[in-house]
Amino acid sequence: MRLATEAGGLVRSTDDLDKQGKTLMDLAEVLRVVGRTHEAVSVAREAVDAYERKGNVVMTEVVLRLLRELEALTQQLPSAHGRCAGQTERRPKERARNTKRLVRWCG
């Protein structure tokens, strides 16, 4: 969690909008996994902004999909903010693999 947050902080100071978007999208996913859904929504919005400024339509759509999932979770689990919550929704394979790696930080 700490490393993902640090990476998000560092990438915000770069001018590489694709790297900003990717790193912020990853940070949003980490925040989601540890139950900090409200923060994940905010970070995902930053990722959308970075991809939109770059003109990367494909990745903008990918992050918008993630943002919709996060917003749905926020409505379903408003009390999950700041703590770990069980993840029962289905994810694409790559997100599931990343989630399994990140779950060990949730404790």
pTM confidence score: 0.65
What are the angstrom distances between the C-alpha of 36 and each of 30, 54, 71? 9, 27, 12
What pLDDT, in 10s, does the model give residues 20-59?
Answer: 999 999 999 999 999 899 999 999 999 999 999 999 999 9
Q: In this structure, are residues 30 and 1 in contact, taking their beta carbons and an 8 Å threshold?
A: yes
pLDDT for res 61 = 95
Give the count of domains, the chain: 1
Calpha distance 66→40 (Å, rounded): 10
Picking from 74, 93, 62, 65, the residue whose alpha carbon sits closest to that of residue 31 is: 74
Q: In this structure, are residues 34 and 105 in contact, taking their beta carbons and an 8 Å threshold?
A: yes
Tokens of 68: 């919709």
Calpha distance 9→23 (Å, rounded): 10
Range of the domain at 79: 2-103
What pLDDT, in 10s, does the model give residues 82-103?
Answer: 444 444 444 455 555 555 444 4
| Higher pLDDT, residue 85 or 15 | 15
